[in-house]
Amino acid sequence: MSSSKKFINGAEIFFECLRRENVEYIFGYPGGSTLKIYERLYDIDFLKHILVRHEQGATHMAEGYARASGKVGVVLVTSGPGATNTVTGIANAYMDSSPLVVFTGQVPTNLIGNDAFQEADIVGITRPITKHSFLVRDVKDLAPSIRKAFYIAQSGRPGPVLVDLPKNVINALCSFEYSEKIEIRGYKPTYSGHINQIKKAAKVISQAKRPLLYVGGGIIMSGASQELRSFAIENNLPVTMTLQGLGAFPGTSELSLGMLGMHGMYWANQAINHCDVLVALGARFDDRVTGKVETFAKDAFKIHVDIDPSCIDKNVKVDIPIVGDVRLILSELRKVMPGKPDIDKWWEEIKTWQKECPLTYDMNDGRLRTEYVIERLSEKTRGEAIIVSDVGQHQMWVAQHYKFNHPRSHISSGGLGTMGFSVPASIGAAFAVKDRPIFSVSGDGGFQMNLQELITANYYKLPIKFIVINNSFLGMVRQWQELFFDEKYSFTNLGESNPDFVKVAEAFGLKAYSTDRPQDVDDLIDTMLDYNDGPIFVEFKVVKEDMVFPMVPSGASISEMIVKRLNPQRMV
C-alpha cells in the first residue's frame, strides 16, 4: 500500500491558516488578483469578512479592532492600488505598535518586475513601516509565512506585517503543514527583565523624594494595567500618561496626573521638570512628550522599561535600562521593593501646581465649547465608553477632559497623527467590543477624509455614536497660524466649503442631529446612548477661535508652557 498526502490550493491553505490563528474578522476589498481567495471565502463560515469602502479604511478598521481587543487585526486587499491604498494605515499601525497582518494580492511571479497591470512593489514600498514583509514565491512557503507573520505581529513590540500573495501561488497546489513551534533566526524578543537591574531600580525608587511614573502605551499592550495600579497604590506614586497610555491607569484616581507633554496637564509637566526619579514604563520618549530633549527631566535619575531594546537611549539617555515585558518586570519590581518612598512633601508640591493652573474654559458667553461636550460625555458615560478620537484639537480635548478608567478605552492615532482615522477605527472597535458604548469623535476636517465608511457602519448596523466637532476650521493648524504665523489663516477655513453634515449622515442612512447650544448637549448624548439599532450622528457646532491649552511650542522645553491665549481680543 502507498500513502499520499492531500493536496489543496493556496486559497484553501490561506483560510486553514487563518482558522488555526483563530481569526474572527477580515477587513477587505476584492479585486482581480485575490479572486481565488474570495471564491473560497464564499463557503467559509468560521470568520466574517467585512466589506470596506476604501482600503485605507480596512487598515484603520483592523487597527481599531486590534487596539480594542488585543488581538491581531487582519486585512485583505488586491494588488496595485488596492495594496498602495493600505500604506497610510500600515504606517499608522507601525508608529503606534498595533499588531496587523496585511495580505495583499500580487501579479503572478513571472510578471513581477514587468510593470504588469495592477502591479506594485508593495513589499519595497512598505519595508520601512512594517516589522517584516513576506513575498510568497512558492506555495510551499505560504503556510510557514502566514504562521510567522502572525507570530511577528503580536510578539515583542507589536506591529504590522505584510504578506504579498502572487496570483499563481494562490492557485497552486500543495500539501498542508502548519508548525505550532516558531523559530525565526535573529528574532528573539526578551520578556524577562534582568533581576539585578530590577533590584537597582527598586532601591532607587524606594529612596526617591520626588518620584514619578511616566506611562506609555506599552502598559496597555502588555496587559500590565493591574500591575501598574497595584505598584502605584502600594507606593503612593504619582502617575502621568502619554496620549497612548491613557486608560492604562484610572483617570479618576487621586494618583493620576493625567497626560503630559505638548498639550499635557500643567502639573504633570511641572512634575517632569522637578522629579528626582523618573520611571518610564512602556514609553518611548517621543518628541511630543519631551519637547526640547536637553531640558527634559534634566535633573532626574531615569529608569526605562521597554520590550524594544532599540528604544533604550534612543531619544533620552537613561541611568537604569531594563529590557523586557513591562507586566513581568512590574510584577518583579513589586516583589523586591525594599520600602515605600517618603513623598508627602512631593505630593503637596504637586497639589499646589494643580491649584495654580487648573484646566478651565469660559462658558459665560453662551456659546458651545468642545471641552464642555467632552466633560459631559465623560460624566454621562462614567468613563466606561470606548472613545475613538481623530486628530487635531478635539483629540487633545478628549485626552484632557475625558476620564479613562480602563485600558483599551482610548483609541487614537498618536505617532503618525492620521486625520480620517476615527471613523473606520471605531468600526473595527465595534466588531471587537459589543458590551460598551463606542464613540467616534472627529473634527470637521478629519471626518471628511474617510466618511465613506459610514456606509460600512450602517450596513452592519453597528451602534457607533459618531460625533463631529465642527469649528469650520482645521482647528489645530489654525491655532498654530494664530500663535506663530502672523494670523495668516492660509487654506484652513473650511466654513465656506463644508457640507451640511446632517444631510451627509442621513444620506448614508444614519439618524442625525446638530446643535450649537450648550443646553442641548446632555439630551443629545442621552439620545446617542439610548439608540443601539445602528449608527447615530451628532454635529456639535463649536467656537471656531478656541485653542487648546496648555501648549508647549515645537522645539521648546516643556517648562515653557503657554497656558492662555496671548491675544484675548481674538475671541471678540
Active site residues: 55, 117-118, 167, 476
Q: Please name the amino acid found at residue 269.
A: N
Q: How far apart are CA 475 and CA 219, in angstroms?
A: 31
Looking at 285-421, list the stretches that DSSP marks H as alpha helix, in order from N- to C-terminal side.
287-290, 326-336, 344-356, 370-381, 393-401
The x, y and z cell numbers of residue 346, run together, are: 512631593
Q: Using DSSP bridges, classify how beta strands 211-215 and 438-443 pair: parallel, antiparallel or unpaired.
A: unpaired
Alpha-carbon dihedral angle through residues 431, 432, 434, 436, given to the nearest 10 degrees: -120
The x, y and z cell numbers of residue 197, run together, are: 537591574
CB atoms within 10 A of CB 252: 11
Q: Cis ω on the peptide bond leading into residue 550 (within 30° of 0)?
A: yes
Q: How far apart are CA 11 and CA 218, in angstroms?
A: 35
Q: How far apart are CA 23 and CA 196, in angstroms?
A: 40
Please provide the DSSP assignment of 168-211 as one string. HHHHSEEE----SS---TT-----SPPHHHHHHHHHHHHH-SSE
For the chain, how far is it from start to end, CA to CA, in angstroms? 92
For the chain, helix (H) and strand (E) counts, in that order, are 23, 20
Q: Are 243 and 215 in contact (CB under 8 A)?
A: no
From start to end of 417-559, where are the E strands?
A: 438-443, 464-470, 511-515, 536-541
CB proximity list for 58: less than 8 A, separation 6 or greater: 27, 28, 29, 50, 52, 75, 76, 77, 86, 89, 424
3-class SS of residue 256: strand
What is the maximal distance between C-alpha atoms in the chain? 93
Looking at 366-513, list the stretches that DSSP marks H as alpha helix, in order from N- to C-terminal side.
370-381, 393-401, 422-432, 444-447, 454-459, 475-484, 501-507
Q: Are 208 and 226 in contact (CB under 8 A)?
A: no
- Scored b (16 or more CB within 10 A) or e, 81-102 reads ebbbbbbbbbbbbbbbbbbbbb
Q: How far apart are CA 156 and CA 182, in angstroms?
A: 14
